[in-house]
Amino acid sequence: MRRAKPAVRRGSGSDDDAVIRTRRLTKRYGSLTAVDNLDLVVHRGEIFGLLGQNGAGKTTTILMLLGLTEPTSGEARVMGLDPEREPRLVKRQVGYLPDAVGFYGGMTGRQNLRYTANLNGLRKVAAETAMTDVLEQVGLTDRADDRFETYSRGMRQRLGIADALVKSPDLLILDEPTTAIDPIGVVEILDLLRRLVHERGLAIMLSSHLLTQVQSVCDRIGIFAAGRLVGQGTVDELAASFGDGTATIEVGLELPTPADVGRAGTVLRALGGVTAVTEPARTGDPWQVVVRPAAAEGRVRQEILVAAVEHSLRLTTLRPVVPSLDDIYRTAVLRTAA
């Protein structure tokens, strides 16, 4: 069993923990610029989501990071290595799952992994140990000796992740890993990625056009549009960059009488920084309190707590509304096109 790496702070952002770093990385195909002056940093111990529509430049970026295509200009460093000059060394330290997983259908899952282990130069004993380890981690131990052609789409993707892990990489790059998988399979894959980061200390770059999945699993996100990285950061940071400058708070209150409802609305609207208060249409649903500027959201939440006590309002829930990555993405792309 492979020993777990020391715990690392996810996405710490220091200069010495970057597993991927690009500067003005560019790829042109004739008159088409597939990737345009890309400046990107991915840190050890984080899941970084590369988000964009098909054709936005995500796969081209991955191919340059793996040394599978040469950049037109700019530079990239992967695990401190230049993938253009040292592609073999990069591939030894990076596990890669392409959008179309390729295995031999007549071979079992274990046989396919053994073939990959041999290609990567693992000795027999080390290879068998590594295979046992990764098959357990991806939840395929019971199906390891079944032929690949009998696997479901979700099982094939999990075997693909095992295949990328068998050489014990420090970085895992996944290109659209949940496409065409059923909802239960998607949850299993995303949970697996979280465990891998926790147990192995991996960094993961996840390329996808599926916004909800990216938001649910990624520590930071880079938004790709027309070959350009138009924004990167946490969802909160992206919301600050592409939002309207407001934040929303959900406030749950038990209000037995119409007079209580009216009093609650008056109290909430009187708080400093509150620009709008929406009363719920149904009893039991939360109130929506809009705050400007967004940075005042934490202070307003504290004031709501105090006001609830002072005005005898029975508070049941109080939480900030997580910004929608869908709205952020749409705004970012529209600004780029303008």
Dump pLDDT digits (tens) for 256-296. Answer: 999 999 999 999 999 999 999 999 998 889 999 999 998 89
Query: What pLDDT band is residue 338 in, cutting at 50, 70 and 90?
Result: low
Quote the pLDDT of residue 57: 93
Quickly list DSSP for 217-263: H-SEEEEEETTEEEEEE-HHHHHHHHS-S-EEEEEEEE--SHHHHHH
Extract the tokens encoding 131.
Answer: 């295979």
Taking the C-alpha atoms of residue 239 and residue 259, their distance in angstroms, rounded to an integer, is 36
pLDDT value at 11 more than 60: no
Q: How confident is the model at residue 15 (pLDDT cuts 50, 70, 90)?
A: low
**Side-chain half-sphere CA neighbours of 300 within 13 A:** 30
Residues 6+ apart with CB under 8 A from 302: none
Residue 269's CB: how many other CB atoms inside 10 A? Answer: 12
Mean pLDDT, the chain, integer: 90
Residues 48 and 203 sit within 8 Å (Cβ to Cβ):
yes
Question: Tokens 């230049």 sit at which residue?
Answer: 82
Instruction: Dump the DSSP string for 29-65.
Output: ETTEEEEEEEEEEEETT-EEEEE--TTSSHHHHHHHH
pLDDT value, residue 87: 94
| Predicted TM-score (pTM) of this structure | 0.80
Q: Looking at residue 67, what DSSP letter applies?
A: T
Q: pLDDT digits over 128-177, tens only?
A: 999 999 999 898 999 999 999 999 988 999 999 999 999 889 999 999 88
- pLDDT above 70 as % of the chain: 95
In order of start, what are the domains of the chain with their CATH numbers?
15-237 (3.40.50.300), 244-322 (3.30.70.920)
pLDDT for res 6? 40
Pick from 54-58, 190-194, 317-321 the range whose average pLDDT is largest: 317-321
Q: How confident is the model at residue 20 (pLDDT cuts 50, 70, 90)?
A: very high
Strands (E), the chain: 18-29, 32-43, 47-51, 73-78, 94-97, 171-175, 203-208, 220-225, 228-233, 247-254, 274-278, 287-291, 314-320
pLDDT tens string 83-125: 999 999 999 899 999 887 789 999 999 999 999 888 888 888 9
Asked if residue 205 lies in contact with residue 42, where contact means CB atoms within 8 angstroms, the answer is yes
pLDDT above 90: percentage of residues in the chain: 65
What confidence category does residue 178 fall into, taking pLDDT thresholds of 50, 70 and 90? confident
C-alpha count within 13 angstroms, C-beta hemisphere, residue 118: 6
* Better-scored residue on pLDDT, 27 or 167: 27
- For residue 3, the model assigns a pLDDT of 41
CA dist., res. 144 & res. 127, Å (int):
15
Backbone dihedral region for residue 167 (phi beyond 0: left; psi -120 to 50: alpha; all else: beta): alpha
Nearest CA among 62, 79, 151, 87 for reference residue 113: 151
Q: Which of 105, 57, 27, 51 is nearest to 220 (CA)?
A: 51
Please name the residue that has the structure tokens 């990076």.
94
Give the mean pLDDT of 53-65: 93
Q: Is the peptide bond before 293 cis (omega within 30 degrees of 0)?
A: yes
The answer on pLDDT for 12 being more than 70 is: no
